[in-house]
Chains A and B, each alone.
Chain A
């Protein structure tokens, strides 16, 4: 059994970091998932004048201050990308491929960088469309499958699927060398829509159409509703109340992922509320 954290924070932008420092101040055992750069949006900001107390700074300067702050508090960022979070009842299981982390509460602070779904993608989800090729590949034994791949990691999955599927099309959405089995057909074209009757039957691209039994869409980041099954959304944002509570007990959310305006100060404020709500949830248990 792995170590069970009090709070798992998913995202290292302003909301996640503010949640982390507040949880640590209140003596909770936390784990913070994110990236070394903290947040792509932060480092890209040329000039920030609406962050109280830090006037006339660049995003990179602010990032540096954030980094100094968390390291002074001995907070480390675990550089892993969470694929799925399962609400198990008493705890949450956070999956990184085959590895699992456990936490009593979760704070979602992943921003809003996920890719927009294709037309038909959500309609046929579970009816020929899937996000986990390795999970569902055996169901497509001998059938025609297309993989729409947003990153290099998908190549490994594609090679695995090709051993089971009758025919595999690989549609890369990135540039580069592809290390793929020779049986895989690479399609360099732009996917437009997935169509079908009761289940997915066709992948329509700009220049051609593929008849398929299944389509796997392998993205960099999925929407929070896909990340955590059962999470209630409001459009493309996570639904929360004033305490930053989601519909799932013990799960909180903060920052851009819960709605506009997309601002650093709003994100940090919400991160703080989420952390304090998580702390009081833990203390009541």
Chain B
């Protein structure tokens, strides 16, 4: 998964020509570590219909602030520059696939 930061956010997420699934995470967050391999499995199932990226909230506090991240992991689907839906906390693969599919 592509790592996005403050500098590349507009280009990679907001101006993307297909929906983007953003995983907000941090090093110190246990559930984020567990979600990571699961979301990569989900990506394999959904790609190329959507792009999957990760944002480290520690390195990019302004982005976390902008999107009101109060708990991680938080996964958001962006489409045409807007937040379409938000999922908070760890979820099994099927839940993630369903969450993304219904927002495509």
Residues of A within 8 A of B (CB): 84, 86-89, 93, 95, 98, 125-128, 130, 132, 134-136, 138-139, 198-199, 214, 229-230, 248
Contact = CB atoms under 8 A, between A and B. Distances in A.
A230 B38 CA distance: 13
B34 A93 contact: yes
Contact of A95 (B30, B74, B91): B30
Q: Which 6 A-B pairs have the closest CB atoms?
A: A126-B88, A87-B92, A230-B92, A126-B71, A86-B34, A229-B90
6 contacts: A127-B68, A135-B29, A135-B31, A136-B71, A139-B64, A139-B70
Instruction: Give the residue among B41, B88, B92 with the most A Cβ atoms within 10 A.
Output: B92
Interface size class of B (residues with CB under 8 A): 20 to 34
A86 to B, nearest CB: 4
A132 B91 CA distance: 16
Contacts of A199: 68, 70
B57 interface: yes
Interface in B72-104: 72, 74, 88-95
A128 B91 contact: no
Contacts of B88: 125-127
B46 interface: no
B26 interface: yes
Given A84-B31, A89-B93, A95-B30, A136 B38 contact: no
Contact of A136 (B34, B41, B70): B70
Contact of A86 (B58, B64, B90): B90
Contacts, number: 71
B92 A135 contact: no
Interface string B19-35: 00000001011110010
Contact of B89 (A89, A214, A229): A229
Contacts of B94: 230
A89 B70 contact: no
Contact of B72 (A84, A87, A139, A229): A139
Given A86-B31, A135-B29, A139-B57, A126 B70 contact: yes
B34 A88 contact: yes
A128 B70 contact: yes
Interface string B32-45: 00100110010000
A214 B70 CA distance: 8
Contact of A230 (B30, B57, B74, B91): B91
B14 interface: no
Contacts of B72: 135-136, 139
Given A86-B31, A89-B41, A95-B30, A138 B89 contact: no
A248 B38 CA distance: 14
A158 to B, nearest CB: 17
Contact of A139 (B30, B37, B69, B95): B69
A135 B30 CA distance: 7
Contacts of A138: 26, 28, 58
Instruction: Give the residue among A93, A128, A139 with the most B Cβ atoms within 10 A.
Output: A139
